[in-house]
Each structure stands twice: as structure tokens, then as C-alpha cells.
């Protein structure tokens, strides 16, 4: 691999153990961050690495065949607006008109908007929204109500 793009996502190669390689401390730190979801940029941010450092580490790990690139071509898309409307509607039934404000606040906290909301972050949004509901019974009710739509969208 000639170039490591900051939007690439890697997982550990199941055929190779990093323990068999002579990894440096920072390389182990990168390996421990791999979860099949974090991009190279997010890992660099988490570990306070600059572009050159993170690229060098990933290049080494890839060259030693410790990493596998995750193919994100099929699911690399944006959450459709109707799903937000649906979530907002279900939250409003439980929390009243404040639901819309909570939804916007949580998205702002995630630094994402409805127009560019990555589908891989969507379940994180649902987690955060659920935590905004105080009553545990209503939390489950919210998740039960939205689950069929989420299933249809994410597990299609």
C-alpha cells in the first residue's frame, strides 16, 4: 500500500499476531485502538500523533501484514433525513416538544449535522439519545419503538 489515507479503517489481520512482531510502544498503542470503526485520523487524534507519524506507523503495520483494510465502499453513506424525523417523532411522544432540541444538542455534541451524518455514528447517536431519557422504562420503550426502523436501515 503506497499511501495511507486518513479516512481508511483497519482491523487486525486474524492470520497474524502482533505479538510475533517486534512492535514499538506507539505501534502497540495504534494496534490497541483498532476496532474496525475508527479511521486513521481518529486514531491519530486519540493518540496525539501527527500525520507523518501515524502514516509511518500504519505503513509499517501494513507492510508486516498485521492489518487488513476494511472495505467501506458499500456502507459509506449518509443517514437519510427521514430517519431523523422518525427518531424525533418517537422521542417527542415520550419527552414532548423538547425532544427536537435534545436531538440537535446531541448532534452538535457529536459535531455532526443531519446533512452529513455518517451511518456508522448513528447507533452512537441512539445511545446518547437514550441516555437523555431519565426514566429507564421510557428508555426501553424508545428503543423498542425505533428498533424496527433501525433494523430495516442498518441490517438490510
Partner 1 sequence: MIESYLKDLTQLKNVEAIAIYSLNNKLIDSWCDPNFNSKVLEELSLHYFQVFATLDLSVQNFQEIVITHEKGHFYTRILPNLLLIVLVRLPVEISLIRLIVNVKSIDLLNSRGLQKELKRSSVESKDFLNKKYLDESEKEYLKKLEI
The CA distances from residue 88 to 20, 99, 114, 127, 156, in Å, are: 49, 6, 12, 14, 22
Residue 17 touches partner 1, criterion: CB under 8 A: yes
CA–CA gap between residue 69 and residue 104 (Å, rounded) = 33
CA–CA gap between residue 2 and residue 23 (Å, rounded) = 21
The H or E element containing residue 10 is strand 10-12
Residue 40 touches partner 1, criterion: CB under 8 A: no
* Near partner 1 by CB under 8 A: residue from 2, 14, 50, 52: 14
Nearer to partner 1, 11 or 78 (CB): 11
What's the min distance (Å) between Cβ of 127 and partner 1?
5
What's the min distance (Å) between Cβ of 16 and partner 1?
10
Residue 31 touches partner 1, criterion: CB under 8 A: yes
CA–CA gap between residue 82 and residue 100 (Å, rounded) = 14
Residues that bind partner 1 (CB under 8 A): 9, 11-12, 14, 17-18, 31, 34-37, 70, 120, 123-124, 126-127, 139-140, 143-144, 147, 150-151, 154-155
Amino acid at each position: 500500500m503506497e499511501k495511507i489515507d486518513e479516512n481508511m479503517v483497519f482491523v487486525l489481520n486474524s492470520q497474524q499476531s502482533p505479538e510475533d512482531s517486534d512492535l514499538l510502544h506507539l505501534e502497540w498503542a495504534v494496534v490497541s485502538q483498532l476496532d474496525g470503526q475508527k479511521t486513521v485520523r481518529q486514531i491519530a487524534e486519540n493518540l496525539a500523533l501527527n500525520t507523518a507519524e501515524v502514516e509511518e506507523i500504519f505503513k509499517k503495520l501494513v507492510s508486516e501484514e498485521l492489518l487488513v483494510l476494511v472495505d467501506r465502499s458499500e456502507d459509506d453513506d449518509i443517514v437519510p433525513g427521514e430517519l431523523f424525523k422518525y427518531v424525533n417523532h418517537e422521542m417527542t411522544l415520550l419527552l414532548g416538544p423538547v425532544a427536537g432540541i435534545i436531538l440537535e444538542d446531541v448532534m452538535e455534541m457529536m459535531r455532526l449535522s443531519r446533512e452529513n451524518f455518517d451511518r456508522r455514528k448513528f447507533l452512537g447517536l441512539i445511545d446518547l439519545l437514550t441516555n437523555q431519557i431519565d426514566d429507564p422504562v421510557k428508555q426501553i420503550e424508545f428503543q423498542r419503538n425505533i428498533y424496527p426502523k433501525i433494523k430495516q436501515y442498518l441490517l438490510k
